[in-house]
Structure 1
Amino acid sequence: MDTEINAQVAQQLNLKLSQVNNVLTMLSEGNTVPFIARYRKERTQNLDEVAIRDIENIAKTLNDLNMRKTAILKAITEQGALTPTLDKAIKTARTMQAVEDLYLPYKQKRRTKAMIAKEQGLEPFAQWLLKLSDEDVSIVAQKYLNTQLPTIQDVLAGAIEIIAEQVSENAHHRDWIRNLTWKQGRLESTLKSGGEDLDGKGVYQQYYAFGAPLKALNGYQILALNRGEREKILKVAVVINTDDILNRLRFKEIGTIRNEAGQIVDNAIQEAYKRFIGPAIEREIRTSLTNDASQQAIDVFGENLYHLLMQTPIKGQVVMGFDPGFRTGCKLAVIDANGKFLAKTVIYPHKPANAKERAAAGENFKQLIADNNVKLIAIGNGTASRESEEFVATNIPKGVHYVIVNEAGASVYSASEEARQEFPEFHVEERSAVSIGRRLQDPLAELIKIDAKAIGVGQYQHDLPTKELDMAVGTVIETAVNQIGVNLNTASAALLTHISGLNKTIAQNIVTYRDENGEFNLRSKLKKVPRLGAKAYEQAAGFLRIIEGKNLFDNTDIHPESYPLAKAILAAANLTVADINTPTIQKLTTIDTKQLANQLAAGEQTVADVIASLLKPGRDVRDDLPGVILRSDVLHIEDLKPGMELEGTVRNVTDFGAFIDLGVKHDGLVHISRMSRQRIKHPSALLAVGDVVKVWVVDIDLKRDRIGLSLLPLEVVDD
């Protein structure tokens, strides 16, 4: 354990050192973040997953910095160039950038013009020039003439290369120029010659003549500019007035001296900035802007994905998945209350189908509903979605409702090996219909099968760094799955993979063991699963539920290690396990948790968690979240009027606003400026994917299919 790093982490996060020490110790012992957050609250002093991951990430960053410092000090020492001043500067540097700036003069690099000039013996001449002597430069330069350097101009050019490289590698110069550029620089873009033709639809039109201070740029603007530049539509550059920069460099290198040698050094200074420092800092700034914008977009994507996964499941109802289509028809699949496939068919309710086929579609649709007692229809929001919605609304029997479901990624899943194994005889679209229906029944269990980037709840996710996005997605899924817990006897291998302590191999072994030996009736039977050792059992058991097993505790999030504590808590209230799921269990609400924890020599937070679990066995945290909007009629964009009050579901949250599903063909946009009377930093401060909200129509653009909405009544917006 690195006590210095731990102390820095504690200071940065304003936490107690004991919290940081305990978290990092537990992580090093192979404990997962969900397990630590849920079952080790006394040791962390009730830190949540976010705080635990912050500790982990900052400790890694600081450790990486220390490792880089060690490697750089070793490299400079081997060159015989390490001085006490440089050693101290590197050891006390607080950022990776500062360390790299100090290392730059000693870094192995490809052969430069300055290196060649030094090989030609010009370094003494360059150092003489830097002394700014009043001697005649030409006379001194003549001493360096040779076959490689036949003219004085060649000698001067070589010396300028050496001085320019030396100036450019000065860590203090770079640090000052970098800070000044951040303060005063702007990012500007113009339309590239011929770029308008490539743009076609004018997607980047707002960036044809764009400029903003570096500190004022929004993440989505940076990502848009990057994409426009990559597509050769825009020309993008960091712009700054260089006079201040060059004047400072002159002051530091030559002061007020303006003799012949000073003029040559001045030329080298200009070369240093123009060729080396300026472009390098522009690259650094562009990279930093992109990294920050990407991280912000990843955070937004993760937040949206989390809320999408945590949407309230529709339990206990037979659902019809409806995958819309024109030419190939609409694929219908009925699944029972547990997601098991019951029946399927294809209907042709839309043109180019003939009148006879369209008439038959309604009858077949109603018959499938009646035969299977369907109560809810999940309509995918892809091609022909709104036409299919009209068809459903026209033909739906009384008492049956429908919901528009985001089908993004359904086709990706339907063509996957997992989908082919489950439904080998189905067409791709028929598998999609099953997936759409299951998304309504249990969004989490279905959506984790799909590449998250295909789900479409972010901005520019296909432009984001794959590794970082995948890590963020993995974290979000892990958090969601473990917060909810899964049914050990129905969970797929794909779902089990995300449970704390399990990997792909162990998850598949659990499913195989279940198939060969029947359902689990005790959590402890997990220990018989091949390759599921004691550590994996410890990490996973509390997140796996057995609905109707031999031990009622197995249908709670009480960890098996706390079963004796749970029995002791029941006994303290004169209750038994048989009282669980009866009104009598409410006696637990009258217990003094602190007093009982002291009496049982247990952690107060653990006692409180066990009591909460005993009061609500089998609890699904999603049940407390808002449900979906059930519809039985259809709305058209032409029906909308400014000022109209509507109810809608948040489909996506971005940096600039939120998209709301109103039940019409196109989602409406609530711009961030129309969300609150007070200024908010980001729409996610108020809205999350899946929220059901009341909105007011501000404007409708029928030509562009755009709907402007407001969270505020229009008189408030007008004010």
Structure 2
Amino acid sequence: MPPHRVLAINRAEREGVISVHIETLTDYVMEMIRRRYITNPDSIFTKYIEFSINDAFKNYIFPSIERDIRNEITEIADKASIIVFSENLRNLLLQSPAGEKVIMGIDPGFRTGSKVAVIDKTGKCVATAVVYPIEPQNKIDDSDKILKSLIDNFSVEIIAIGNGTASREIDEYIKGMLERFGLKLHSIVVNESGASIYSASEIAREELPSLDVSIRGAVSIARRIQDPLAEMVKIDPKSIGVGQYQHDVDQNMLSSALDNTVESVVNYVGVDLNTASYSLLKYVAGIGLSLAQKIVAYRDEHGKFDDLRKLLDIPGFGDKTFEQSAGFLRIRNGVNPLDNSAVHPEAYDFVYELCKMKGVTIEQLIGNDKLINSFNAKDLVTDKIGLPTIQDILKELKKPGRDPRREYKDAGFVMGVTDIEHLHEGMILNGIITNVTDFGVFVDIGVHQDGLVHVSEIANKYVKDPAQACKVGSTVQVKVIAIDLERKRIGLSMKQVHEKSEK
């Protein structure tokens, strides 16, 4: 039985919708037990033995076996679900950042208006506003003036729109506003899962103490474009909502797996020591929350770090911690160019030797593909540094500080399609994958209700695991194949889009 089906059955049973029992060939099993234990049918004790067998099997043996089987398949289902959640979270955190750009974040709303926040290139909130360009207010002219003023005054480069309530209406309004003023800005619809939780969190109060809770959400939406990883680590991974039956699985096992996933991604990408919050730094290997807070406090008091080894001046930051964490920390424009690379300080002397061999400076070596390719990695192997490490160092020297995250692509939702009632079967739409499960993938097509691409509709070949073919955050084209207005369900197909293009 597929893991997601096991969890669905468990939930239905827990909520009293169904009752679940395992059926077995009771008569056959009882006969086998009788043959084993009733060796003399004519004995005066036979009826007592038969009673004991029946009572033991019915009240003890079979219930125990049933519990063991249920527990075992539930444990298997829990692990499978957690793997799916972890992989989805990993892909979400690895979405590409826009980098150091001025971004306007908009948290859409109808009656209470759309909250607006502008952040500068460092992520600092520099301006806020509330606009009412859509129903029921429809104050388009007033909204145009406010947003145009913010765009001009702060040289906004990107507009990020949360994908919650009223997102499609605001997206269409923004596109119209940009067209009216002849602005060439790029507007992007952003996954805002967990933004409201962040807004009311302690870290949000620390970072944005003067802002109203409703405005903090707009700041978070803007920062998710600037650097998704740095912003999303501030939210409990379970609140991001990219799993299946996440509330039904073992919560301790889930928390541990998700924390490990976040730590893995953070260390894979690397962390800018001079801009990272303690929420991000705490996931760096060897650091933890307490030391992360000390690093930020030291940075606030002494200014930006210009040398990784200054971390050793922080109380509690010893040699062992430095050894564990240094390879994952980055310093841009520091004293040593290698501090902005994944090369560990323990290997700096090796890099200096490479420079001596070619008679160049470290600045001349870094990024010089031709010079780096002239080295034969096998000839550089020593007792201290093996071949795999040398190959990694040479690769890193070609593009130091490179960001391994994939490039972000906007879905480009179809204009005029903002509600499920606007859909009809056969439509080809752009969308963003918001969740991957064992039974298929959910896609945001801009109508406030994600559609489902069943596993059988992903590709023209057999797909055993949707996670192998689809990634959260990826943009896809889908065809509408079913619409259920009453239950608000949308059936989509990816393979039928390809079939049409092939024809």
User: TM-score of the superposition, structure 2-length normalised?
Assistant: 0.93
Q: Distance in 2 between matches of 1:714 and 1:420?
A: 46
Contact 1:396 1:632 in 2 (8 A): no
| Residue of 353, 360, 379 corresponding to 2:142 | 360
| Residue of 286, 303, 318 corresponding to 2:70 | 286
Q: Distance in 1 between matches of 2:413 and 2:434?
A: 20
Q: Distance in 1 between matches of 2:294 and 2:101?
A: 31
Q: Does 1:604 align with 2:381?
A: no
Q: Distance in 2 between matches of 1:654 and 1:225?
A: 16
Q: What SS is found at the alignment partner of 1:500? A: coil
Contact 1:698 1:714 in 2 (8 A): no
Contact 1:626 1:691 in 2 (8 A): no
Q: Distance in 1 between matches of 2:165 and 2:446?
A: 15
Unaligned runs of 5+ in 1: 1-216
Q: Shift of the alpha carbon at 1:649?
A: 1.9
What letter matches 1:360 in structure 2?
A: D
Name the counterpart of 1:200.
Answer: none
Q: Distance in 2 between matches of 1:683 and 1:662?
A: 19
Superimposed CA distance per residue, residues 619-657 of structure 1 (whole angstroms, 9 cap, x where no aligned partner): 1111xx241316486341555454444432211101110
Name the counterpart of 2:106.
Answer: 322
Name the counterpart of 1:664.
Answer: 447
| Residue of 480, 494, 497 corresponding to 1:711 | 494
Name the counterpart of 1:446.
Answer: 231
Which shows bigger deviation, 669-678 or 658-667? 658-667
Superimposed CA distance per residue, residues 480-532 of structure 1 (whole angstroms, 9 cap, x where no aligned partner): 00001100011111111000000111111111111111111101111001101
Q: Shift of the alpha carbon at 1:466?
A: 1.7
Name the counterpart of 2:165.
Answer: 383
Q: Distance in 2 between matches of 1:528 and 1:467?
A: 36
Residue correspondences, number: 497
Q: What SS is found at the alignment partner of 1:713? A: helix
Superimposed CA distance per residue, residues 262-294 of structure 1 (whole angstroms, 9 cap, x where no aligned partner): 232111111111000111111111212221111
Contact 1:379 1:404 in 2 (8 A): yes
Q: Aligned pair in 2 of structure 1 residues 567, 256: CA closer, same or farther (>3 Å)?
A: farther
Contact 1:646 1:695 in 2 (8 A): yes
Q: What SS is found at the alignment partner of 1:699? A: strand
Q: Distance in 1 between matches of 2:99 and 2:213?
A: 26
Superimposed CA distance per residue, residues 643-693 of structure 1 (whole angstroms, 9 cap, x where no aligned partner): 444432211101110012233332222110112333222210111112222
Q: Distance in 2 between matches of 1:676 and 1:683?
A: 10
Q: Aligned pair in 2 of structure 1 residues 542, 697: CA closer, same or farther (>3 Å)?
A: same
Identical amino acids, percent of aligned pairs = 43
What letter matches 1:482 in structure 2?
A: N
Which shows bigger deviation, 315-324 or 626-635? 626-635
Contact 1:586 1:615 in 2 (8 A): no
What letter matches 1:500 in structure 2?
A: A
Superimposed CA distance per residue, residues 62-109 of structure 1 (whole angstroms, 9 cap, x where no aligned partner): xxxxxxxxxxxxxxxxxxxxxxxxxxxxxxxxxxxxxxxxxxxxxxxx
Bigger radius of gyration among the two: 1
Q: Does 1:423 align with 2:204?
A: no
| Residue of 652, 655, 658 corresponding to 2:435 | 652
Q: What SS is found at the alignment partner of 1:225? A: helix
Name the counterpart of 1:695.
Answer: 478
Contact 2:409 2:475 in 1 (8 A): yes
Q: Distance in 1 between matches of 2:117 and 2:276?
A: 21
RMSD: 2.2
Contact 1:575 1:585 in 2 (8 A): no
Contact 1:404 1:663 in 2 (8 A): no
Q: Distance in 2 between matches of 1:605 and 1:321?
A: 43
Q: Shift of the alpha carbon at 1:589?
A: 1.8
Superimposed CA distance per residue, residues 534-593 of structure 1 (whole angstroms, 9 cap, x where no aligned partner): 1111000111100010001100010010001111223334432021455x4531123221
Correspondences of 1:415-494 after superposition (within 5 Å) = 415-494=200-279
Q: What SS is found at the alignment partner of 1:707? A: strand
* Relative contact order higher in (CA < 8 Å, ≥ 6 apart): 2
Correspondences of 1:91-490 after superposition (within 5 Å) = 217-255=1-39, 257=41, 259-353=43-137, 357-397=139-179, 398-490=183-275
Q: Distance in 2 between matches of 1:488 and 1:712?
A: 44
Q: Aligned pair in 2 of structure 1 residues 617, 246: CA closer, same or farther (>3 Å)?
A: same
Q: Distance in 2 between matches of 1:715 and 1:483?
A: 34
Q: What SS is found at the alignment partner of 1:483? A: helix
Q: Distance in 2 between matches of 1:499 and 1:489?
A: 14
Q: Distance in 2 between matches of 1:374 and 1:702?
A: 39
Q: Shift of the alpha carbon at 1:460?
A: 1.5
Contact 2:411 2:430 in 1 (8 A): no
Unaligned runs of 5+ in 2: none
Q: Distance in 2 between matches of 1:691 and 1:460?
A: 22
What letter matches 1:380 in structure 2?
A: G
Q: Distance in 2 between matches of 1:694 and 1:631?
A: 10
Correspondences of 1:663-682 after superposition (within 5 Å) = 663-682=446-465
Q: Distance in 2 between matches of 1:393 and 1:433?
A: 18
Q: Distance in 2 between matches of 1:522 and 1:649?
A: 41
Name the counterpart of 1:589.
Answer: 373
What letter matches 1:634 in structure 2?
A: M
Name the counterpart of 1:81.
Answer: none
Contact 1:526 1:532 in 2 (8 A): yes
